[in-house]
Each structure stands twice: as C-alpha cells, then as structure tokens.
Amino acid sequence: MISTLKKTFTKNQETNPSFKVNFSDPAHHWINQNQRIKRFFEDVISQLSEEEKDSLATYGELVFLESQGMHSSVIPSHGDKTFVLVYPQLKKAILTADNEEAYAIIFHELGHLYYRHFTMRLHANEMTKQIEADDFAIRHGFGKGLFNFLMKMPISHEVSQRLEMIRLRT
C-alpha cells in the first residue's frame, strides 16, 4: 500500500510541474548583465496568471536565449527546457523607452506555448496559430504594440488578416 501511495504521489508531482524561469542559469547571463533587460523579463513573468504559468510549466523550464535572427521564436521542450530565442532586433526593442512592441513579441511567442501549437495543436493551420498567439499578446494588453510591429512588416494577406483581428479586438 505504501508503495502504491508513493507511486501516486510521484506521478502527481511529475504531471503537475511548476513553472520555472531560472535567471541564474548561465544561458541568462545576457539578461543579468543589464538591469533593464532583467526587469523586462521579470515583468513579463509577473504578468502571467497562475493558470498560464501552469500551462507553460508543461514545457519545462523556460529559457530566454540570446541568438541571431529576426525578432523571436520558440524551440519547445528540449529535455526539461523550452527556449524562447531573442534576436538582436528584439533585444534592441526591449531597451527602447517605449518597449510595448517587445512585450507584444514575447507574449506572442509565449502564446504559441500556451495554446499548445507544438504539441496538442500541432496540425492547426499556421494562420490560426498566429492569430491565437496574437490573442495572447492582446489579452495581456499589448495589442497596440503588436499592431505597430505588424505595420512594419511587408503587407501580405496574413499580415492584413492579423491587423484586422487586432483592430477588432482592441
């Protein structure tokens, strides 16, 4: 009986991981080198609800990794970590006085995780995924930043649809 209880308790712990961002992780050295960047990411984390943190926890520890490319992207669950890649343009946007676009981009990326675009909803069409991730940023109050960011993108059917959705939601 004790063995059964131990297995049950262990299972519950494994299936109910806690949300974690470890800013002392060596991968976060670039965050810790600049107080403004660190405050930005601490603020992002503080704006997540407990339900959102529980959802994101299923992907393992969240690591914001400085990388090369355009803006940001997510690499889900590599072992016990999920990486949010932060590219130079986003890092620059974080450091601007009006960094609402940076918040919008990060919340958009977290929205992909929250809506399970890499696991349960893998086969949803790409436009649906983008709109759901946009919705996550909008729900956190960054519709204007998202709109301004998308306005700088080359106009396409997808961008036009996303802009219209934001206009209707904000």
Q: What would the pLDDT profile of 74-123 be if each residue is shown by its tens digit?
A: 888 767 899 999 999 999 999 999 999 999 999 999 999 999 888 776 67
Q: Which amino acid is at 103?
A: Y
47 or 80, higher pLDDT:
47
pLDDT (0 to 100) of residue 84: 94
Please write down the HEC assignment for all residues of 114-163.
HCCCCCCCCCCCHHHHHHHHHHHHHHCCCHHHHHHHHHCCCCCHHHHHHH
> Which band of pLDDT confidence, cut at 50, 70 and 90, is reported for residue 11?
very low
* pLDDT above 70: percentage of residues in the chain: 89
> Which band of pLDDT confidence, cut at 50, 70 and 90, is reported for residue 16?
low
Task: Give me the number of domains the chain comprises.
Answer: 1
Q: Which residues contact 18 (CB under 8 A, 6 or more apart)?
A: 57
166 or 3, higher pLDDT:
166
pLDDT digits (tens, 9 = 90+) for 20-29: 999 999 999 9
* pLDDT above 90: percentage of residues in the chain: 71
pLDDT (0 to 100) of residue 72: 86
Report, as an integer, the average pLDDT of 1-29. 63
Instruction: Find residue 86's DSSP bridge partners.
Output: 66, 72
Report, as an integer, the average pLDDT of 61-75. 89
The range of the structural domain enclosing residue 27 comes to 2-169
Structure pTM? 0.86
